[in-house]
Every structure is written in structure tokens, then in C-alpha cells.
Amino acid sequence: MSNLEREPHETACGGEGEAAEGPVRELLAGRDVVLGGTRGIKVTRTLPGRERRMVGAWCFLDHYGPERATMSVGPHPHTGLQTVTWLLEGEVLHRDSVGSEQLIGPGRLNIMTAGRAIAHSEESVRPDSVIHGVQLWVALPSASRHAEPSFEHHADLPRLVAPGVQVTVFAGELAGLVSPARVHSPLTGAEAAFDDRSAITLPLRPDFEYAVLTLSGEVEADGTRLTPGPLLYLGSGRSEIALASAGQGRALLLGGEPFEEEILMWWNFVGRDQQEIERFRKEWEQGAAFGDVGGTALARIPAPPLPTIRLKPRGRRR
């Protein structure tokens, strides 16, 4: 899913010196957002948040479900980012303006690289079915943010299996496992699924910053018990992370090198300044630069009006 708020706020983040320079434990509350282009789907958004706006290049994190709902998100634009769709339950049909049409289910990865400009739609194949998952964005560095748009689907992902727990690496690398998905900055995206009372210690890179989000059940991360909702920001300087669960539970582990460039996010666009955001919006409203999404009967989503105040950087941390 994407940012369907009708009055989106700008968010500026990234830049040197904004990541924690050592290990921390910051419990970051999310905010509830009701998606305007869907029926019955409410998400908890923890990135960008009040205190932390990025973890490595990860700049957007929505967790939704499990609930019975219908996803119906018409064609809408993206620039300067990658969208990463990860489902625990349900199915979503993706279509985009480079000609992709792909059904995604649990344990499989959809990753769309917007580059200079792309449009896509997302919809449920079975109305009012149970859906549960996360939608993430990865900010693209300057070297690739104007690249040609593309789409990848990966059904076979590397997994680390230990007694009572399975870790799937869907983006970047972790514990010697490397996702086949193409990424444009050093990062980690993984899910740990616990079947029973079990624990695992995973190696980390001290130059990465990390965060953990529990998706279901209760998972303990670095001694902190987490239920679905808040994001635990762990900072950098760690060589390992201990995860444990007293029963069935799932957790998301995100990490990456601190993103050195400042970015400006507004609606579904990632740019560098107000002039770029204004241009992206104008091009979407004029309808040429982003292409057409074929095969869907869903209506194209118009861009919200820009705020009357100037969009300006505020840093990746308040």
C-alpha cells in the first residue's frame, strides 16, 4: 500500500550525524492511519515517526492487520524510492506502468523501484478476506533515484532455520544470507517467525543502525518485550541481536547504513527539495511522465493539494 492521506505532511530526513552513534533502546510509538483508498484497512505507521524518521535507507513502514478488509488502491505515482510489500496473510494483486501484473502471497516479495517515475495499483483478489502485512519504502540514493523504473517478484528467498524459529531475508543481507532482490544501498530486511518457545541470536553489522517491530504475538528483542504496535530502535554499534518468543510470534528486523543524503518526502514522492516535489505533482496531474497502469478498473488517484507553507527540511530526528 501507499500513502493515501489526503492531507499528507512533508517529512525531511537523512543526513550525516542523525543515527545513534551507539547501541540504544528507543521505543517509538506509531500512529493510526485510515487509508482513504480502501475499505476497512487501518495501518499503524512507525516510519516516519516523531522521533525517528529513517532506519538506514528505510523511510516508511506501515503495519496493517490481521483484519478482514478489502484493498482497493487505484493507480497512483511514486518517485525516488523502492516499495517493498511483505505479507503474512492474504493476497494482493499488483499492476504497474511498466507492464507488471503480479499476485503476491505470504512469504513472497514484491519490490518495485520507482526511479524517475512509476505508477501502480493494488487490490484484493477476494473482497473482505483476512489481510496482514507490512508496506515499506526504501529511499534511493542520488546515483539511482532517476533510474528507469522496474519491478521484481521473488518467490524463493533465503531462510535460516533453527529449532523453533525461521528467519527469512527478503532484502539486503543478514547472517551470510543475501536476498535476490536488487537494492541500492547496504541494508537488511528480515522476518523472524517463532513456532514455539524458542530463541535465536543473529549477527549484526556495527556500522548499521537497526530496529525491530513485532508483527504478531510477543517477541523479546535485546531484552525488551514487544507486542504489535511500537518500533524498537536499537541504534548502531551492535555485533548481534538476541530474539526470543514464549510462543508463536513474528518480528521484523530492519537495518542499514545511515542514509547520508537529506530527502524530502511528501505524499508518494521522495525528492530533495520543494521544486522537485512540485514538479512531480504537476507531472502526475498532467498524466504523461508516469505512464498508464493497464488491466485495472480502479480510478486514478489525484494528488492532494500542496500545503500553503513551504516544504522544508526538519532533519531525520526531532
Contacts of 255 (CB under 8 A, 6+ apart): 55, 56, 172, 174, 187, 188, 204, 205, 208, 209, 210, 211
Cα–Cα distance for residue pair 301/97, rounded to 1 Å: 14
Residue pLDDT, tens place only, 264-318: 999 999 999 999 999 999 999 998 899 999 999 999 999 999 988 877 655 555 5
Instruction: Tell me whether strands 31-34 and 81-89 are parallel, antiparallel or unpaired.
Output: unpaired
Contacts of 74 (CB under 8 A, 6+ apart): 37, 121, 296, 298, 299, 300, 301
Cα–Cα distance for residue pair 51/317, rounded to 1 Å: 5
Contact (Cβ atoms closer than 8 angstroms) between residue 176 and residue 220: no
Site of grid cell 550525516: 16
Site of grid cell 537494492: 183
Write down the pLDDT at residue 50: 86
3-state helix/strand/coil string of 15-26: CCCCCCCCEEEE
SS3 276: helix
Write down the pLDDT at residue 37: 56
Write down the pLDDT at residue 14: 60
Site of grid cell 524459529: 165
Could you list the pLDDT tens digit for every one of the 318 residues in the chain? 555 555 565 565 665 556 667 899 999 999 998 876 566 688 999 999 988 999 999 999 999 999 999 999 999 999 999 999 999 999 999 999 999 999 999 999 999 999 999 999 999 989 889 999 999 999 999 999 999 999 999 999 999 999 999 999 999 999 999 999 999 999 999 999 999 899 999 999 999 999 999 999 999 999 999 999 999 999 999 999 999 999 999 999 999 999 999 999 999 999 999 999 999 999 999 988 999 999 999 999 999 999 888 776 555 555
**Identity of residue 24:** V
Ordered alpha helix ranges (H), 97-219 = none
